[in-house]
Structure formats: structure tokens, C-alpha cells
Amino acid sequence: MGEPPAAQPDRPPPRVRVRWNIFLYLFGFGFVAYLQQRGITVASYQMMPHLGLSQMQIGWLEQSLLLGYTALQFPGGVIGQRVGARRMFVIISLIAFAATISTPLAPLLLTGSALFTALLGAQLLLGASQGPIFPLSAGVFETWFPSRQWPLVQGLQAMGLGLGAALTPPLIASLMSSFGWQRALAWSTLPVLALIAGWAWYGRNTPAEHPAVTAGELAELGPQAGERVDQSISWRRMWELMRNRDVLALTASYICMNYVFYLLANWSFLYLVQERHFTVLEGGWLASTPPLAAAIGAGVGGQLASVLGERYGVRRGLRVLPLLSLPAAGLLQWAAVDAANPYLAVVALALCFAAVELNEGPYWAAIMHVGRSDSMAASGLLNTGGNLGGLICTPIVAYLSGHQAWTPAFLIGTGFAAVSAALWLVVDPSRPASATAGRGAVAVTNG
């Protein structure tokens, strides 16, 4: 790895470290990803009558996105680990932009089954291009931040996802009411081009490569700040990750948690409009409440997990939030569907989503500790499981909601939340997955 130019050993690090500017770009990529993903769930209200689509077909579009998103988690993490996050973010973001803009443009050229096939392909491509975002981010965080801050930065990035999901319903609903669903989707995706250009200019794979990073900031990160992401990941190490018991337990738990996540993230708008009988515009604003609460929960959970990890150690400290908040999320789902007042149902959904998202920091920090220098690949495995939860959730909820059976869809989530919490009892994040990864332990626990 290259050394910082003219290291300037006497120059103190600036008040705002370069690593936090890097974080803001990753925060932006997460925000935009969820804006792109969730736009179609709101636009579907007009798409269905305009294009002659059924609610089950909208479910298949969601399933197509999740399939691509899930399939590229682990391969995307491995490829990103090999080629570097700077180049990989530019490539996948440009592909995601092309896939997003093709959805409103496709009906101008196609109709019928050809149109539906094109929409399926666009969603599959969008999901595949976005799959590596969070495994890549985990590798960047491992390199750019001391290990005590891993839960915090993961929680704050999850906050970006929640803010993107919270902004999407009112933004798309408002644009859709004034200009139609096609312009709403097209106009909302254009700002990502500025984000891509900024990252291509400013982003770097490691602190040692960045011209603005001072010797003081490098010293804060430890002597191996530029060498933590191992670009020479082998098949043997990939196999070690795939059969490691802590990786498997975390992944199984994340599958269960993400049934609840995808239920709330993708279906709250239609639930409020169809089951609670809000108007489209009112439903758009109210549907932003759960993801907004989730965004706050993710940020708070990241900070709490960082504090608990420092106080009680990685093994015990990262368990506390999942063991408390996931069972609470299960109970809140039951409370939401049982509430007689529709506004109380919105409150229960918001609290449930916040309880779920308190755990993003613990999950991702735990997999980074287990994966160490292979954290991009390990995080890819974790998020493959997370999105399998979405693949399980989507057809179940699409079928049940299409038959006006929203209550069973939520009660199934109660069971998934309970299992998700129980699996944390067998997780020990302090055990690295391989001897090779373990050699990075000193570097990632410094600071």
C-alpha cells in the first residue's frame, strides 16, 4: 500500500477526519439505494391500473429485485475485495442508475408480456448491482475506522437506509400525484449521478492512499491502516467463512430478522391504504413514519452497541440489543394488527421497525469481527441471508395481502423475530473465522 504524501508527522489531524467524509459518501450510497428500491412499491399503486398489473405481479417484481440483490451479495463482496471499493462503487452505481431509469421508460416502447418481462429484468439488474453495496461498505469501515466504532458507523449507515425509505413514500406519492408514476421514478433517481462523480474523485480504498489523510489520522487507526482488506482472498478462506459456525448462526438469525424488515419496508404503504383505508397521499406520508423510526433506531442502536461492546466486551456487548429488542419487535407486530385505531397501528409499526433496526450495528459489527480482513466476503454471506429473509417474506405477504389476510402476514413475523433473537445465544463474535483472518486481529482492535 502507498504511503501518504509527505507524511508531515508534526501536522495534527483535522477536526473532521477524512474517514468521516468517506463515511458520508457511503451513507449517500445507502440512502440512494433504498430510494431506488422502494420507489416502485409506492409507484405500484398507479402502475397496476396503468399497465394492467396485478398485486401478485408487483410481488414478482419485488421478488426479482431481491433475487438479484441476494445472488450478488457474496460474489460482490469477494469481487469488491479484489478490485477495491473505489472502482466497484462507481461501476455498480452506474448500472443501478441505468436499471432504475429503464423502469419508467420501458412502457414507452413495450406492452403486455414483453413489458412485464422487461420490468422483471430491470428489477433483477437493479438488485444485482446494489447487492455489493453493504459488503463493500463493511470493508471500507474496517479499513477506515477503529474497531470500537464499527457498530456506530454500521448503525449510522443503516440510518441512511431508513431515511431513504422514509423519504420515498411522500416523495414518490407527491410527484406521482402531480406528474404520474413514470416522471416520479425518473426524476427521483437523477441526483445519484452527482454522488457517483464525487466518489470517483474523492474516494480511496485505504487511508494510506488518500492525499488528505494526515500522519496523525493514520496513527489513530494503527500501523496497518492501509492493509486490512486482503485482496488475495482464496477459495480456502471463502470455504472457511461459509462453514464457520458464527457466520452461519449470524446469517440464520439475520434471515429471520429480515422477514420483519422486508414486511415493514416494502408493504407498509399498501397495508395502510388497503387495510387501514388511508388515502394515497396520506398513506404516503404515514408510510414514511416506520422507516423514519427505523432510521433513528439504527443510529441509536449503533451508538449503544459501541458503548456496550467497550464496556462488556465484543462477545457479550453485541448480544444485549438483539436479545431485548427482537422479541419486542415480535410483540409490536401483533399490537399493530390488533389496534382498533389506525393511527395506533402506525405507531406500533413505527416502534416495531425501530426495534428491528436497533440491531443493524450489532449484526454487521459482529460479522466484521468474525471475518476480520475478509470482512467484505463475510458481510456478503451475512447479507445473502438477510435477503433470503426478503425472498421468503415477499411471496408470503403478496399472497396473503392479495387475499386481504394482512393479520397472518404480520403474525408470522412475530415468530421469525423470536427465532432471530434466540440464535444470538450461540454467536461469539470474538472468534475469527480463520487463522489468516486472525492475524488481522491486532490491527482491528487497536484504537
Residue 2 in domain: no
Domain count, the chain: 1
Q: What is the pLDDT of residue 280?
A: 61
9 domain-assigned: no
Average pLDDT over residues 80-100: 94
Q: What is the pLDDT of residue 436?
A: 43
Residue 446 lies in a domain: no
Q: What is each CA distance from 225 to 156, 216, 246, 444, in whole angstroms?
A: 22, 12, 26, 9
Q: Residue 365 above 90 pLDDT?
A: yes
- Please report the pLDDT score of residue 103 as a whole number: 92
Quickly state the pLDDT bin for 277 (edges 50, 70, 90).
low
Closest CA to 350 of 398, 299, 297: 297
Say if residue 405's pLDDT is above 60.
yes
**406-435 tens-digit pLDDT:** 889 889 999 999 999 999 999 999 888 764
pLDDT at 372: 81
Residue 285 pLDDT grade (very low, low, confident, very high; cuts 50, 70, 90): low
d(CA 126, CA 69): 8
- Looking at the chain, the whole-number percentage of residues with pLDDT higher than 90 is 50
Decide if pLDDT at 442 tops 80.
no
Average pLDDT of the chain, as a whole number: 85
Residue 11 lies in a domain: no
Residue 260 scores a pLDDT above 90: yes
Is 88 a member of any domain? yes
Asked whether the beta carbons of 188 and 171 are under 8 A apart, the reply is yes
**What does the alpha-carbon distance between residue 169 and residue 333 come to, in Å, rounded to a whole number?**
21
Per residue in 299-325, pLDDT tens?
999 999 999 999 999 999 999 999 999
For the ranges 34-48, 199-213, 229-243, 333-347, the lowest mean pLDDT is seen at 229-243
How many C-beta atoms surround the C-beta of residue 108 within 10 A?
8
Is the pLDDT reported for residue 4 higher than 60? no
For 177-234, the pLDDT digits (tens) are 889 899 989 888 888 999 999 999 999 998 989 999 988 888 888 765 555 555 667 7
Residue 7: inside a domain: no
Q: Give the lowest-confidence range in 83-87, 130-134, 341-345, 368-372.
A: 341-345
Classify residue 86: in a domain, yes or no.
Answer: yes
Q: Dump pLDDT digits (tens) for 122-168.
A: 999 999 999 999 999 999 998 899 889 999 999 999 888 778 777 88
pLDDT value for 438: 42
Query: What does pTM read for this prediction?
Result: 0.80
> Domain containing 134 — which CATH number?
1.20.1250.20
**214 lies in which domain range?**
18-435
| CA nearest to 406, candidates 347, 355, 328, 345 | 345
Q: What is the pLDDT of residue 149?
A: 92
3-state secondary structure the chain: CCCCCCCCCCCCCCCCCHHHHHHHHHHHHHHHHHHHHHHHHHHHHHHHHHHCCCHHHHHHHHHHHHHHHHHCHHHHHHHHHHHCHHHHHHHHHHHHHHHHHHHHHHHHCCCHHHHHHHHHHHHHHHHHHHCCHHHHHHHHHHHHCCHHHHHHHHHHHHHHHHHHHHHHHHHHHHHHHHHCHHHHHHHHHCCHHHHHHHHHHHCCCCHHHCCCCCHHHHHHHCCCCCCCCCCCCCHHHHHHHHHCHHHHHHHHHHHHHHHHHHHHHHHHHHHHHHCCCCCHHHHHHHHCHHHHHHHHHHHHHHHHHHHHHHHHHHHHHCCHHHHHHHHHHHHHHHHHHHCCCHHHHHHHHHHHHHHHHCCHHHHHHHHHHHHHHHHHHHHHHHHHHHHHHHHHHHHHHHHHHHCCCHHHHHHHHHHHHHHHHHHHHHCCCCCCCCHHHHCCHHHHHCC
Instruction: Specify the residue for cell string 414486511.
Output: 263
Looking at per-residue pLDDT, the higher value among 276 and 83 belongs to 83
Assigned domain for 3 exists: no
